[in-house]
Amino acid sequence: MAEFTLPKNSKIQKGKFIDVSEGAKTARSFKIYRYDPESGENPRWDTYKIDLSKCGPMVLDALLYIKNSVDSTLTLRRSCREGICGSCAMNIGDGRGTNTLACTKAINDFKGEITVSPLPHMPVVKDLVPDLNHVYAQYTAIEPWLKTDTPAPNRERLQTEEDATILNGADGNGPAACILCFCCSTSCPSYWWNADRFLGPAILLQAYRWIADSRDEATGERLDQLEDPFRLYRCHTIMNCTNTCPKGLNPAKAIAEIKKLMVARR
C-alpha cells in the first residue's frame, strides 16, 4: 500500500527559541535543523537570535558563534573556511533554501530569518552533518586517478595549454575545480530517487575530468564503466546541479559531453 505521509519519527518538530541578542543594533534569527539519531527523538527546528556584531559576515561565522558561545551541542562540519574543501556544504535560505557553502555565503544575502539544514536526501549523522559514505564509494568506483599504459617520463606527463584549459576552464571553472561538496548531487531529483545506481552530477563531473584529460589513456575503459541505463542516463538535464554549484561549475555540460562521446564512439 502506498504511503503518502512521513513516518511519525521523521516529522520535524518545533524546537526551542534562544534569544541572545539583547541590546543588539543588528540581530538575526537562525532556524537550524537539529537531529540526533541516537536520542530516538524526532528532528526539530531550533531558532537562535544572535547579535551579528559578535560574529563574522558569513553564515558559517554565525553557526560557529552559536556553537562556541550559545549552544555547544550544535554539530556541523567545516575546515578551510575559504570555499576550497567543501566541508560546510548545507542547505541555506530565507524560506526556500539552496545548497551552498556556509563559509562563502554572506548573512546579508538573506532577509529575515535564515534557515539552515543539512544537504537534502542524505542520511543525517547528526544535526547539519550528512553521511557521505555512499557518495565517496561512488567516487572511488570511477577510479579518479591518471591511468596510463605508456612508460612514465623522466619528469611529468605534459599537456598543451589548450588541453589544460579543458580541465581548468578559461575562468577556473572547469571540471578540475570541483571540490566534491556534493551540493549538485543533493539538489538533483534523479539522484534523490536513484542514488543506489545513478552516479549523480558530482561523480559524473569527476568522471568527465579524467575522460577529458589528454594525459589519461583509459578513455574507452572509463566510457565502458559508464555505459549503463542508470549510472549515466538517469540524468534528465533538470539543471539543478549547475544552478546550485557554489563554485560556478557546470556538471550538466560535463554529463552532456560524456553522452556525446558515447554517441561518437558508436
Asked whether 130 and 119 are in contact (CB, 8 A), the reply is yes
Predicted local distance difference test score (pLDDT) of residue 94: 87
Extents of the domains making up the chain: 8-130, 133-265
Q: What mean pLDDT is predicted for residues 142-165?
A: 94
Per-residue confidence at 64, pLDDT binned at 50, 70, 90?
A: very high
The architecture of the domain spanning 8-130 is Roll (3.10)
Predicted local distance difference test score (pLDDT) of residue 3: 64
Asked whether 184 and 206 are in contact (CB, 8 A), the reply is no
Pairing of strands 98-101, 44-51: unpaired
- CATH code of the region 133-265: 1.10.1060.10
Q: Tell me how far apart the alpha carbons of residues 128 and 30 are, in angstroms, rounded to a whole number.
A: 13
The three cell numbers locating residue 139: 567516487
Res. 265: pLDDT tops 90: no
pLDDT tens sequence across 82-136: 999 999 999 999 878 999 999 999 999 999 999 999 999 999 999 999 999 999 9
Q: CB neighbours (10 Å) of residue 244?
A: 21
Res. 66: pLDDT tops 70: yes
The three cell numbers locating residue 175: 571540471
Q: Tell me how far apart the alpha carbons of residues 7 and 3 are, in angstroms, rounded to a whole number.
A: 9
Q: Tell me how far apart the alpha carbons of residues 50 and 117 are, in angstroms, rounded to a whole number.
A: 18
Asked whether 255 and 232 are in contact (CB, 8 A), the reply is yes
Regarding pTM above 0.85, the answer is yes
Helix (H) or strand (E) holding 62: helix 59-65
pLDDT tens sequence across 21-48: 999 999 999 999 999 999 989 999 999 9
